[in-house]
Structure 1
């Protein structure tokens, strides 16, 4: 069974083909350089870029694999959550393909696709506790199967990835700045008293990183020497002199630790509530962070769980995860009609599949 995946939820345009759980090929165009001029994603520009490059990426992928639309068993598309204008580009393109070829349309929850993505590289063991850590969301789920996700804890305001982005912006790091924070953090020991671990003094599983962001802002205001005068380029970060580099590394290590340990505490708490699971799945852009990966490895080892981490290329938004999630949904007999809606961030993605006989 061949499934085409289309991803346009934010600022990455991506297409991929999966056949029976195996990745056949993918194409991706990033908008990082475009949005770096503004220090963040501009929704209108993102939508226009998706519209410009998606047809070309699709043609390139189909030419490379020697396939036509009529050879597909389904077209999977990220329907949300995300930027509405960006999502509509991908959803409209997918509907056009399905209308022209008669193949099935499969709307995919972008967040679930992140957590299912490691299945492209190894076995997913259910039931699992899933931690999604991205720019817009920090969620925990009890995952019983590719179609059964129970939300346990969610982002109340700023997600972990947003805290990374805003911290990097305060310091005038290159955009996107999360990887520069991670790189510098590895050069120093964290000061565990420098920044708070936010929203842990309560019994809930929800997340709030706004307090950590404020603490960093106050520290930066008290130490303006840490900040680049203008947005730095990667070479400027690499060429930082000794004392200033050490000071910045300490701040980055302390921030990294505060995020990672907060996630550890909440995941430990979630594991106590859900009872026996077979694995811990960690996914999303922040899952590429060294401190987060190490913290989750400690949790998994402490509970005797298999730790499922995607490779770094699958942490960020990509078409392969959408194609793979679509393949799993198609196997379970899930599909959508051409009235499929795009779901912007802030709204719940409905479980509105049409059920058919499961496919082999």
Structure 2
């Protein structure tokens, strides 16, 4: 392997601006792939981690990035799935125990083994080293945790599918969104806009529930059938008992019980965003119509590949704004100000 030391952008300490640096990638093992990173999406999780906002202390310096699209540069001696030149992606995790019931079922994101699901950055891998993410020129990953990106999806717009795309595809598939189903997406941001596109492609009737009507034109262009402002109390009266499935993509602290009122009998509200504080739930809001309050987190490797293939077939990609690596810190501030439509993607050639 020729690349050991590679260029990257890292947060040197909690809350410190990201800066250009170098990191060491492991030597290529028998089942490893060296990926030349072409593009890396910016996810809100990257910001939480770089600013140590999830209270885990964290490992610093840290290279974020788990929406990674690139090209295979080199393969290990036993690699069978990929060859140099293949278009590939890496998502939110790069390993798992491989032996627990969930791993064997292809639900590696819910790995219950001792190793757990090993995050693409900030986690401790089976070699005892801390993982570093996709804001870098190259990445080494096990072939079993690498995805194939269809030729029909531009690589830059494919990157956010590896987190935002699968985060929405998984619950839509699990709760069987499709013709005859009414689906609401709360929030039209990096996650929400993917939810609208995917639910529409699955054949569901799609409604966006957003604070204001500011992005209504966008929402309808992306595939929504209806668009309502949640700041208007009339919305909750008008849509009472309407939806089979509501997906909340926001990390704001919503009045959950008001949203439960929008579900029909047997409807499900799925929490995807991660609010900072616990949210109060009134039991009566659920029990009176056998409603469910659920959560969902990304997808396993088979389902993520299924999502990429689905997006390839339906011409779905993320709406992105391509930036240079030296714009990452500015992009973080713009994400926090909701000033992006709808996902920043770093051009790795500028790292």
- Class of the TM-score when normalised by the shorter of the 2 chains: 0.3 to 0.5
TM-score (norm 1): 0.33
Structure with greater strand share of residues = 2
Q: Which has the higher helix share?
A: 1
State TM-score, norm by structure 2. 0.34
